[in-house]
Amino acid sequence: MMQTNWRIGSLFGIPLFLDPLWFVILGLATLNFGVAYQEWGTVTAWTAGLIMSLLLFGSVLLHELGHSLAARSQGIKVNSITLFLFGGIAAIEEESKTPGKAFQVAIAGPLVSIGLFLLLRLGSTVVSDSSPVSMMVGDLARINLVVALFNLIPGLPLDGGQVLKAALWQITGDRFQAVHWAAKAGQILGYGAIALGFAVDFFTRELVTGLWIALLGWFGVRNANSYDRVTTLQETLLEVKAVDAMTRDFRVIDANQTLRSFADSYLLATSNPEVYFAASDGRYRGMVAIEDLRLVERSEWETQTLHSIAHPLTEIPTVAESTAIAGVINKLENEQLPRVTVLTPAGAVAGIIDRGDIVGALAQKLGLRMTDAEIKRIKEEGSYPPGLQLGVIAKSINQ
């Protein structure tokens, strides 16, 4: 997917991005502060308005940095921090291992905002009460307190929803159920905000205020739904096992035959499977890769057997039948493999799995429609459909 955000630098090694819509809220915030400070004169007011807007987003950035550093302290990678229309978001790669650690990451952001509030309140006592700087520091302090309190509302995607999730996870012992409940709370709060926004518009005729509240509610509902869907997919990635998704789209061939015989019998056929396993005396001797055959001089094809180029099962990428699909996906992505071999408990070849097999199995489990042509295309391209970030989702699971 094309990257539309703009990278503006990094902080503590974490890439920082700006969503283009960030400039919209920057302009609105500057307008809001500039109008409020008009008593200071036009130039001073608008200059102070722009400075306050930048300081506001600096505070948001520090809030997200709090989450990020808390996650990094647990050994979790933080891919980026992005400032956008509704504030900021830290792209944290995976879930914390325990409810307590999840709580630490969730509460870190609000604690940073509360800390900024206290520091700014203390700073405002040092500056003259009549100066513009004093008013700006006081306003920024109050804004940080509002940011902290707003984010502690108990519903996903807000930090309060993450705190609620951690608490429910601790109580129930089921992280997935905790996310579903916290997402449900976020959906209820989001729809409530949408209703409130329309009510404000209807009863007070404050169109901008009502619209903004409704937009915040829509954002909340949209992201709460996303949390719910992703969590359902994560559950499915752990429920579906390799044995459920594998196919037997391979051929077992005689390991004692010569390379010439193999080439004549299979490679020149009009239709043949891409994966071959050589066997002899009732045992698998390994996987035969066509690329290895091409490395052998043709003059030796008459005398060498498949034993000479077969890769033993202990040396090729394999998973057990009981491996969760999440583990299979991680192996495929981490090692950049086109497919992986599935072994029985006895060490025999049970099947093979590629990305098309995974998508087909998940679609069947989740009741989604997917044609054979679509699955075939995934197999041929060796990549998941656009928007289906299975690699990212599988990696984020705390297995």
Enumerate the active-site residues. 64
Tokens of 349: 């070849």
Residue 70 CA to residue 76 CA, distance in Å, equals 9
- Looking only at the bridges linking them, the beta strands covering 276-280 and 251-254 are parallel
Edge-first strand listing for the sheet containing 349-354? 318-320, 339-343, 349-354
Amino acid at 7: R
Task: Please give the radius of gyration of the chain, using alpha carbons only, rounded to the nearest integer.
Answer: 29
Look up residue 7 and give its two tokens: 């990278």
Q: How far apart are CA 397 and CA 399, in angstroms?
A: 6
- CA 387 → CA 45, 83, 287, 383, 391, distances in Å? 44, 21, 33, 11, 11
Q: Please tell me whether residue 134 adopts helix, strand or coil conformation.
A: helix
Q: Are strands 349-354 and 339-343 parallel, antiparallel or unpaired?
A: antiparallel
* Torsions phi, psi for 264 (to 5 deg): -70, -40
The sheet carrying 283-288 orders its strands as: 251-254, 276-280, 283-288
87's torsion region: left (phi>0), alpha (psi -120 to 50) or beta?
A: left
